[in-house]
Amino acid sequence: MKGIVDESGRAILPIQILCPKHPDGVQIDVWIDTGFTGDVVLPESFIEDLELEVTGSIDGVLADGSQVELSTYHCQLDWFGRVKDLEVIANSGQTPLLGVGLLLAKELRVDYTNLELTLELKPKRTHE
């Protein structure tokens, strides 16, 4: 998968969200957030537009240390050629985020010289 680094240095990756309203998918640009241990956070406005089904809520801790309760919603993600079921988290922000949960077992390269991002599946290396 290929993405970009924007003029502010943010690593951005396009992802394909699948949902009942958009069964063929809708592309959303997400910021890579290595401080977020979950999978995907979507702004409430995106969730309303996609008409995602609410599944519950989780307790979260924001970057400022405050604790909040956040709603979760079901959708699917076209992830490396496979459909992956996700519980996305809603927030009141403006920017979709992709967290470490989806980066595990992947190699993320952010090239600030050429303003490019690549995310690849990599086989695990065994120690000899």
Kindly report the backbone phi and psi dihedral angles of residue 10, in degrees, each rounded to the nearest multiple of 5, phi listed first.
Answer: -85, 135
Is 101 within 8 Å of 38 (Cβ atoms)?
yes
pLDDT, tens digit, 9 for 90 and up, residues 20-50: 999 999 999 999 999 999 999 999 999 999 9
Q: In the chain, which residues have pLDDT < 50?
A: none
- Structural domains of the chain, with CATH: 2-121 (2.40.70.10)
Can you give the pTM of this predicted structure? 0.89
Contact between residue 90 and residue 68 where contact means Cβ atoms under 8 Å apart: no
Give the C-alpha separation, 114 to 110, whole Å: 9
